[in-house]
């Protein structure tokens, strides 16, 4: 019988995107409309904004792709791959083509 090593719960895992991808933490889903109407918990309005947590090494070397860590972005959630890393699953690996806008302060 092989001795199987159990994972150490004190070791922190990291997720590093590969290729032309970024890791995005999706913003919280809205529970209230702009007009102040409280939405029921069972209705989920898709939020497609979030913060870039990590970018791949390939994107770091591409000046034509203006993404940096901590940028607030608008992205298409259709191709987003959820990362089963946190309990609430707000981390997604997203292809750079699905990042459609970056919010910048003027």
Label residues 43-81 b or e (16+ Cβ within 10 Å = b): eeeeebebebbbbbeebeeeeebebeeebebebeeeebe
- Two structure tokens written together for 102: 């970056």
Distance, C-alpha 60 to centroid of its chain? 17
- pLDDT recorded at residue 35: 72
Map out the domains of the chain as residue ranges: 21-27+45-103
23-39 pLDDT, tens digit each: 999 987 666 666 777 76
Whether this model's pTM surpasses 0.75: no
Tell me yes or no: is domain 21-27+45-103 CATH 2.60.40.10: no
């Amino acid at each position: 019988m092989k001795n199987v090593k159990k994972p150490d719960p004190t070791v922190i895992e990291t997720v590093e995107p590969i290729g032309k991808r970024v890791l995005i933490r999706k913003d919280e889903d809205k529970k209230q409309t702009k007009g102040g109407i409280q939405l029921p918990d069972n209705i989920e309005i898709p939020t497609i904004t979030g913060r870039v947590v990590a970018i791949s090494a390939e994107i770091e070397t591409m000046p034509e792709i203006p993404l940096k860590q901590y940028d607030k972005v608008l992205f298409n959630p259709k191709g987003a791959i959820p990362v089963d890393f946190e309990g609430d699953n707000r981390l997604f690996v997203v292809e750079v083509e699905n990042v459609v806008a970056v919010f910048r302060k003027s």
